[in-house]
Structure 1
Amino acid sequence: MDLVIVESPAKAKTIERYLGDGYKVLASYGHIRDLDPGEGSVDPKNDFAQKWTIDGQARSRVQELSKAAKEADRIILATDPDREGEAISWHLANVLRDQRGLAKLPMSRVVFHEVTKSAVLEAMANPRDINDELVHAYLARRLLDYLVGYTLSPVLWRKLPGARSAGRVQSVALRLICQREVEIESFVPLHYWSVEADLEFDGKRGLTAKLEHADGRKLGREDITSEETAQAYVARISSQGMRVEAVKTTPRQNKPAAPFTTSTLQQEAARKLRFSAKRTMQTAQRLYEAGHITYMRTDGTSLSKDAVADIRGMIEKEFDAKHLPNSPRMFGAKNPNAQEAHEAIRPTTINRKPGSIKLEGDQERLYSLIWKRTMACQMANAEYLDTRIDLRTLDGTLGLGATGRVMTFGGFMDLYHEGLDDQEEEQDNRLPKINEGEEAKVHEARDIAHTTKPPARFTEATLVKELERLGIGRPSTYASIISVLEDRGYVRLDQRRFFAEDTGRVLSVFLDAFFHTYVAYDFTAELERKLDRITNGELDWLEVMREFWTGFEKAVDATSELRVRDVIDVLDRELDQHLFPVTEENPEPRKCPACGTGMLGLRIAKNGGFVGCSNYPECNHTKNLGKSSDGEASDLPRELGPDELGRMISLKTGRFGPYLERVADEGEKPHRVSVPKDLSLENLSLDMALKLITMPRQVGIHEDQPIMANLGRYGPYLSHGNKNAKLAGTLEALEIGMNLAVEKLANAKEKMPATELGNHTNGKMITLKSGRFGPYVQMDKVMANIPKATDPKEVTLAMAIELIDKKMAKGGAKTTKTRAGAKKSAKK
């Protein structure tokens, strides 16, 4: 009997079924040992010797594995096919060989990238030894993380009380988020104008063109910097006709994206499914272990020849011949590291369409995303016609332009299209047929005011994308990096955007000031490249460790003479704009509001940083640093600004919570809208308020019916005919575009229309309806659910009367509760 050891019990059951008699498959449940949590588990003076420990839970697993191994003829280590999986096999081999009677037992390593019978049997037929290079790369990474954490943390506790800890890669990711906050705080908005005109041809055809040239020069997007200049252009355009100078139509194509890597899967799942990186990886792990997808930790975009052939066959079956290119697509490698050899993430069997296998919830949604992306990558390009029309005023001084795009063939986009970050989705914009030399009348010209926006805060998708671009960490570590930052309270995720907390800002400034080299992007990326070179056998791992430790130890020693006062001065200076922003309402933010004479500054206590007055102890005014107070309404009411008709919109709070109010026209009541709970009051802008106050919003027209985004009693949703689709949050309802809306509605169940079944014996009408919790029958205020085993289409009037009568017997009619307490108090 051979003992096969894998990582998870779910995978163990599947593989044991594939292998049959003669094999026993057990799970290690991940790592069985780790560095001892105490100090001194890595000794830099002794070639970085390690002290490993097996915790309580792992000890019982080791005993179970050892017992089974003593009855086996050989041990086969079948953990995951990456650096971490190789490390688990290495630990298992070392621990089991130390057990009595197992030192000489044959032991081999096998790897497979998909949990299918053919892949497992092929791996079993090709065993190998444990890969020393992969193990050395793991050791270097794990030991570096340990040394940075255990060496830097005591420095933080002494010099920066309140700071919890700092990690090698997490600190660099934190710096990214904090630097974005600095960019936003220092951003100075620029006001500019654009000019556009509605033009008519023969009174039948029309288009809108934008001013692009004036008096012999090309106008940049932000070149018109005053309203007076913009209005002067409007007057000049309005006073004369226009002539078409050129019409150019260009065919263009869009290629499909490559199949998923770990990084792009995390990004797309964040955009389309609103999954965190951690949630994506946990779901993908379950899909892999169940044999539905290939291994989910990979940097590669290649597909096997057999997989490509199967995909092309499926495209031919599901679509017309034009959707299948003449030859397969090949996707090149981007990152030259050891995990590149893995295939991209794909379904193990492309014939298993979403919905054809038993999956629920997150697994169903993520599998559908992977299946569509895999199919799309081998489909034909999407085809467009781009049209450009150049016009000029009759006096030749002003030039206007109009552009249009029309999709002529959907190609891969008939199945799937990649999500976008911080930009609008492209929409078809069809222009009328216009000929060169035609003249047009100006129906209306207008100027439009704009304000430049600060850089957007990172979403999970854009943070992962930036980490990958800079070469910081590896895709398999992104989920844990983000989780650690959130768990330690250094950042928070609000409206799917990362905000740096005060504690995170303080820590990041400290590290940047006193350990700049080790949070520098280039240094961290170069270290990652060295770790990859260790994996490839190009560098000695101990040499890399020695080089790093020599410099890092000196940097730590240099802080020994650093006084806390010096730290405070640096932090106070670097965080000035964040802690003490100058505004029109508060031109002297450092002036103490309590005593009026003292100056506010950053102070450090054993529990962390706070803002205090220079007149202490005479003045005890303080303000704690920490998590922001988003959601508090202490600064309300607050004016947000006027709408396009000059009506002021304010953010207020009332009996039922915060709400928006728009000043009413004479003789009308103010328009009020509650602020959804998932929106941050502190970051509620005028633009967002305008969108909220005008809800519901028409997203577009699909199949001759409008798609509406709305905010309902149970949250935001889309509606289209008899279909409703739930949305992830208010922000999605305000911003969702047509492509994603159509996709969401396609996956939604059609809502059953209300049907009158007939009158009850008491003469009242009974109606069959569909609600949030399923189908039900209703008579006045009495509602009774249809049993789950009953098809709503089979419900008769007699059945409905019986359900209503049973409900009434139980006292099922809705009643309005009387506020007795309020009445009593009113009588007093």
Structure 2
Amino acid sequence: MTKNLIIVESPAKAKTMGKYLGKGFTALASYGHVRDLIPKKGAVDTDHDFSMKYEVIEKNRKHIDVIIKAMKKADVLYLATDPDREGEAISWHLYEILKDEGLLGDKPVHRVVFHEITKGAIQKAVAEPRALSENLVNAQQARRALDYLVGFNLSPLLWKKVRRGLSAGRVQSPALRLIVEREEEIERFVEREYWTIDSEMEASGQAFRARLMMLSGERLDQFAVTDATRAAEVEARLKDGARDGHYRVRAVERKQRRRNPAPPFTTSTLQQEAARKLYFTAQRTMRTAQQLYEGVAIEGETVGLITYMRTDSVTLAQDALTEIRGVIAERFGADKLPSAPHVYKTRSKNAQEAHEAIRPTSVGRAPEDLRPFLTPEQLKLYDLIWRRTMACQMIPAVLDTMAVDLEAGPGDISRATGSVVLVPGFMTVYQEDADDKKGEEDESDRLLPDMREGERIALKEIHKEQHFTEPPPRYSEASLVKTLEAFGIGRPSTYATIIQTLQQREYVVLDKRRFKPTDVGRVVNKFLAQHFERYVDYDFTARLEDDLDAVSRGEKEWVPLLRNFWSEFHRQVSDKEDAERPGVEVLAETCPQCHKPLSKRLGRNGYFIGCTGYPECDYTRNLGEEAEAPAAEVIPDRVCPLCASPLVIKRGRYGRFIGCSNYPSCRHMEPLEKPSDTGVTCPECRQGTLLKRKSRYGKIFYSCSRYPDCKYAVWNPPLAEPCPQCGHPILTIKTTKRRGTEKVCPQKECGYSIPCPECAEGGP
């Protein structure tokens, strides 16, 4: 009997493959990437056609050894890694490793591609294998080489010019530029005052509002009324025009409009909607989607629940469309079905290689039926995907809209608008959210009373409202992903990594679910924008992505592409060795201790004011603090435990603290406030208790009393209750505007939460 070895990326997938393919197959997992460039200079040889030096990733060496051992006994090799460029590259690396071991010889090697982990899809893929794609492998090699060349050449320059430990990336740097430029736009913003004038009316016993649109026949722009005096004048004019307390209906416009459903999910739109509706990070979305794709145990069988989650395609397979239409007719009624399936076109010419949009492998598995088998976050994401898939094949919604122009005096026109849903169509299942909703309230559920031209409508009251223009909002995860896609920066499968990298490097932080650049991020962006403008340019980054896609399609050669990039980039790096160091600004102010000039400097935690005489003089203060610090406050009846000098309250870079008055001869210090004990045992070391502390930035957190021996910490107040879902020793109390106060498990992978309104009132 022929012995077949099939290799996938994850052990969960390998287990499923083994069940579906039977005894003739041995299924093993590579556990992700198996080789990478050697982590040193020269890994990409720019003098010899960019030849690349790889080595086995150490943490996966044991898995490779298992694969090598199995290949010695196998007759045929099937490479079944993920159906994208990265998956193709992993298969190629496995092939190269086994070839170097002399294990392939004349043994057949097949590349197997499938987009859902179902028995039928896997058996069909194994029956119809193909060869490894040289074009896809070359595209991935070119991408890896570019990332290496940028990182290994720009990062050392950042170490010299900004701060040790910094790094720059080919796609992360333009993404950082987006966030910094938005912050600068917000800082430059100057608010403007404007007023709106609404007339509250009543017709047929129903009250409604109309917004002033025209005055004396002239259309009003946003800033037509900019102060209270002018608003009062307009109010008086309208009242004077409606002397009998009525406006006249000048025009009524009625029409129906159709709202079409959104297409099925791609990688990008899934990340956006999961961020808007579920408050998932891009990384959490992709991790959870991977779990649904690889499969979960349902009544003793591992079942893949969604198709492959890295795709730009909005196409659905014919057999999937047939099933979707059948379930729609059964669950929601045949009247919710269009006469023919909706067909969506992929916008990007560079759509990834996956053939379908993200959808359930079977829409017959309703979310409520899977509740016993899924974690809370898996269920939430599956429900989102299921609803979007169903909605995309339902009839459009039909809305009845009405716009009424009401005239006070000649040419003074106010407009009332409203609409009502006549046919909900797809909206009964799913509606797409929008980023940064502003402006008028949603009128889809507001119906105006019936009015006719010439009719006189009673005026009840005039409302003058003051407003101020607002700056553009900071990027949320959803709006950042949308913007990255619009600019062509990276590819949807890389967005989660881009965002994670920016946060790990401490170039950006999340503030109220919005990205804000740190001082370090600003300085790095400024340096790159000044000296490497081309490489953080949005168009250049997008063109480079297009070139890599052309390589994957066989339309371009990868070595000439790298050569063109490297020649200019290498020259520019060399030229910038003598560039001025950013992040240091000498001030006119002198040091109060040694009278040398002070400077604004970039430290590990952002900007601060420090003496240019450092290290001889160690004077520092927080940026924004007054130059003349108040005199140290002596603490009555307290002396230093080291030298018996009086203890005083001092102010340092991170706020107020208690220190010895004999400084610098004695350097004793202690926190101003003692941490309070919560009485909750630390769940990690089981020895200390969790103390309420304040960070250097003033934020409250809870950490183990045995710090630094135990570094366990949580942001939310702890409860001495075990998690009923995963058994973790504690729960925490979390309060958000959207969900209120809840008991939640601090283990992110668990996802357990339960409402606890009494917790907000000092309860459990």
Instruction: Tell me: CA distance 1:606–1:220, structure 2 relative to 1, closer, same or farther (3 Å).
Output: closer
CA contact (8 A) 2:520 2:602 kept: no
Aligned residue number for residue 722 of structure 2: none
Aligned residue number for residue 376 of structure 2: 361
Once the two structures are superposed, what CA deviation does each residue of 1:121-144 show, in whole Å capped at 9, x if it has no partner?
A: 111111111000000000000010
Q: Are positions 1:223 and 2:238 aligned together?
A: no
Q: Distance in 2 between matches of 1:284 and 1:733?
A: 23
Aligned residue number for residue 276 of structure 2: 271
Cα shift at 1:729? 5.3
In the alignment, which of 729, 738, 763 is matched to residue 732 of structure 1? 738
Cα shift at 1:104? 2.9
**Equivalent residues in 2 for 1:340-739 (5 A)?**
341-357=354-370, 358-393=373-408, 395-423=409-437, 426-427=442-443, 428-564=445-581, 567-568=582-583, 601-603=599-601, 610-612=608-610, 621-623=619-621, 730-732=736-738
Q: Are positions 1:86 and 2:101 aligned together?
A: no
Cα shift at 1:407? 1.1
Q: Distance in 1 between matches of 2:192 and 2:229?
A: 16
CA contact (8 A) 1:276 1:460 kept: yes
Q: Are positions 1:333 and 2:333 aligned together?
A: no
CA contact (8 A) 2:310 2:354 kept: no
Q: Distance in 1 between matches of 2:25 and 2:754?
A: 49
Indicate the SS of the match to 1:457: coil
Q: Distance in 2 between matches of 1:606 and 1:479?
A: 25
Q: Are positions 1:282 and 2:287 aligned together?
A: yes
Letter in 1 for 2:442: E
Indicate the SS of the match to 2:368: coil
Cα shift at 1:609? 5.8
Instruction: Tell me: CA distance 1:384–1:51, structure 2 relative to 1, closer, same or farther (3 Å).
Output: same
Q: Are positions 1:232 and 2:233 aligned together?
A: yes
Aligned residue number for residue 630 of structure 2: none
Q: Are positions 1:167 and 2:163 aligned together?
A: no
Letter in 1 for 2:435: D
CA contact (8 A) 1:237 1:442 kept: no
Cα shift at 1:604? 5.7
CA contact (8 A) 2:599 2:609 kept: yes
Letter in 2 for 1:154: P
What is the number of residues matched between the two proteins?
A: 642
| Structure 1: gaps of 5 or more residues | 574-588, 627-631, 635-653, 658-676, 683-711, 715-725, 735-747, 752-769, 774-813, 817-828
| Structure 2: gaps of 5 or more residues | 296-303, 625-653, 657-672, 677-693, 700-716, 720-731, 741-751
In the alignment, which of 120, 129, 132 is matched to residue 131 of structure 2? 129
Superposition TM-score, scaled by structure 1 size? 0.72
Cα shift at 1:196? 1.0
Q: Distance in 1 between matches of 2:94 and 2:437?
A: 48
Letter in 2 for 1:267: Q
Cα shift at 1:521? 0.6
Indicate the SS of the match to 2:738: helix
Indicate the SS of the match to 2:214: strand
Once the two structures are superposed, what CA deviation does each residue of 1:733-760 show, in whole Å capped at 9, x if it has no partner?
A: 69xxxxxxxxxxxxx9999xxxxxxxxx
In the alignment, which of 237, 259, 262 is matched to residue 267 of structure 2? 262
Aligned residue number for residue 640 of structure 2: none
In the alignment, which of 295, 311, 314 is matched to residue 308 of structure 2? 295
Indicate the SS of the match to 1:339: coil
**Equivalent residues in 2 for 1:81-160 (5 A)?**
81-160=83-162
Instruction: Tell me: CA distance 1:608–1:438, structure 2 relative to 1, closer, same or farther (3 Å).
Output: closer
Aligned residue number for residue 704 of structure 2: none
Letter in 2 for 1:353: A
Cα shift at 1:432? 1.0
CA contact (8 A) 1:160 1:608 kept: no
Once the two structures are superposed, what CA deviation does each residue of 1:537-581 show, in whole Å capped at 9, x if it has no partner?
A: 1110011100110110011011123243xx457xx59xxxxxxxx
Once the two structures are superposed, what CA deviation does each residue of 1:568-615 show, in whole Å capped at 9, x if it has no partner?
A: 57xx59xxxxxxxxxxxxxxx986796999986433679986434679
Q: Distance in 2 between matches of 1:421 and 1:600?
A: 44
Cα shift at 1:525? 0.6
Instruction: Tell me: CA distance 1:772–1:319, structure 2 relative to 1, closer, same or farther (3 Å).
Output: farther
Q: Distance in 1 between matches of 2:281 and 2:173?
A: 20
Cα shift at 1:243? 0.6
Cα shift at 1:2? 0.5
Instruction: Tell me: CA distance 1:590–1:410, structure 2 relative to 1, closer, same or farther (3 Å).
Output: farther
Q: Distance in 2 between matches of 1:131 and 1:302?
A: 23
CA contact (8 A) 2:591 2:597 kept: no
Cα shift at 1:284? 0.6
Indicate the SS of the match to 1:422: coil
Instruction: Tell me: CA distance 1:292–1:200, structure 2 relative to 1, closer, same or farther (3 Å).
Output: closer
Once the two structures are superposed, what CA deviation does each residue of 1:277-330 show, in whole Å capped at 9, x if it has no partner?
A: 111111111111111110000000000111111101000000122211111100
CA contact (8 A) 1:162 1:607 kept: no
Instruction: Tell me: CA distance 1:308–1:13, structure 2 relative to 1, closer, same or farther (3 Å).
Output: same
Instruction: Tell me: CA distance 1:485–1:232, structure 2 relative to 1, closer, same or farther (3 Å).
Output: same
Q: Distance in 2 between matches of 1:408 and 1:124?
A: 50
Aligned residue number for residue 16 of structure 1: 18
Q: Distance in 2 between matches of 1:13 and 1:617?
A: 61
Report percent identity of matched pairs: 46
Q: Are positions 1:248 and 2:253 aligned together?
A: yes
Aligned residue number for residue 651 of structure 1: none
CA contact (8 A) 1:97 1:104 kept: no
Calculate the aligned-residue CA RMSD, in Å: 3.5
Instruction: Tell me: CA distance 1:219–1:604, structure 2 relative to 1, closer, same or farther (3 Å).
Output: closer
Cα shift at 1:730? 2.7
Letter in 2 for 1:732: R
Compare 471-480 and 219-228 and name the one that shifted more: 219-228
Letter in 2 for 1:40: G
Indicate the SS of the match to 2:325: helix
Compare 441-450 and 470-479 and name the one that shifted more: 441-450
Cα shift at 1:207? 2.2
Indicate the SS of the match to 1:141: helix
CA contact (8 A) 1:337 1:536 kept: no
Q: Distance in 2 between matches of 1:73 and 1:432?
A: 78
Letter in 2 for 1:221: Q
Letter in 2 for 1:112: F
Letter in 2 for 1:179: E
Once the two structures are superposed, what CA deviation does each residue of 1:738-790 show, in whole Å capped at 9, x if it has no partner?
A: xxxxxxxxxx9999xxxxxxxxxxxxxxxxxx9999xxxxxxxxxxxxxxxxx
Letter in 2 for 1:365: K
CA contact (8 A) 1:196 1:208 kept: yes
Indicate the SS of the match to 2:578: coil
Cα shift at 1:623? 4.3
Cα shift at 1:56? 2.9
Q: Distance in 1 between matches of 2:363 and 2:144?
A: 37
Q: Distance in 2 between matches of 1:414 and 1:547?
A: 53
Indicate the SS of the match to 1:426: coil
Cα shift at 1:366? 0.7
Once the two structures are superposed, what CA deviation does each residue of 1:194-231 show, in whole Å capped at 9, x if it has no partner?
A: 111112347x3432111110122100123211221111
Q: Distance in 1 between matches of 2:257 and 2:323?
A: 29
Cα shift at 1:103? 3.1
Cα shift at 1:382? 1.2
Letter in 2 for 1:512: A
Q: Distance in 1 between matches of 2:614 and 2:59?
A: 52
